[in-house]
Amino acid sequence: KHLFSFPGFGPFRQHLVNSSWEAVKELSKRGLGKTIDLRIMELPVVYQKAKEQVLKIWTTLQPLLTVHVGLASSAKAIIILEQCGKNKGYKEMDACGFHPEGGCCMLDGPEKIESTINMKTLWKNISVEGIDIIFSRDAGRYICDYTYYASLYYGNGRAAFIHVPPLSKSVTADSLGKALQTIILEMLKQCGEERE
């Protein structure tokens, strides 16, 4: 039984410290209980490299669930639970100045892929101190959305994406790590119910 939770992405646009990676490192310190083998990895803000890493995770580790964590740079103290990944519309340049050919993630892939995790149920079931949680069906057509779609594609929907806000006085890496722990434990309950 193992969960593979990754990226904190690396430095992103004007953010030299990416809150998603800081939050994931805090989550790693806290863990998810003795039965879960939690692995973390930082992904580059580069379409092709991030996609290659995602494929590697699914082929080598074959996790029960992959949880992606990314920075929502516009968000105030809000955590966003993303329900699905989209295949097309990737026109924005990455950190290396590239974007995918035809703005597409997978040439033979469906328009969108839904997570097997029901984010709406999750959203109704949890609350986190000092941070609002919202539900979304649009992860933004940048590296986050692209990576999420690739993971949903390779993992047959067994992936989830959580957008976290930038760090601030009220939102610390510690509080985000604690929030991630609460959210992911609830996701694992859903995985458990599916298998029974």
The count of other CB atoms within 10 Å of the CB of residue 186 is: 15
The pLDDT, as a whole number, for residue 44 is 84
Residue 142 scores a pLDDT above 70: yes
Extract the tokens encoding 80: 């966003």
The pLDDT, as a whole number, for residue 95 is 83
Q: From the candidates 144, 193, 194, 196, which is the catalytic residue?
A: 144
Q: Looking only at Cα atoms, what is the longest distance across the chain?
A: 46
Please say if 82 is a catalytic residue: yes
Q: What number is the average pLDDT over the span 99-125? A: 96
Q: From the candidates 82, 84, 114, 129, which is the catalytic residue?
A: 82
Q: What number is the average pLDDT over the span 50-66? A: 92
Residues 2-194: name the CATH superfamily. Peptidase C15, pyroglutamyl peptidase I-like (3.40.630.20)
Burial degree of 124 (CB within 10 A; 0-12, 13-18, 19+):
exposed
Compute the mean pLDDT over every residue in the chain, rounded to the nearest whole number: 87
Residue 14 scores a pLDDT above 60: no
Q: What number is the average pLDDT over the span 150-170? A: 93
Taking the C-alpha atoms of residue 176 and residue 134, their distance in angstroms, rounded to an integer, is: 15
Residue 159 scores a pLDDT above 80: yes
Q: What number is the average pLDDT over the span 4-12? A: 47
Taking the C-alpha atoms of residue 92 and residue 94, their distance in angstroms, rounded to an integer, is: 7
Please say if 186 is a catalytic residue: no
The SS3 assignment for 177 reads helix
Which amino acid would we find at residue 146? Y
Per-residue pLDDT reduced to its tens digit, 168-189: 888 999 999 999 999 999 999 9
| Region of poorest pLDDT, from 16-20, 77-81, 137-141 | 16-20
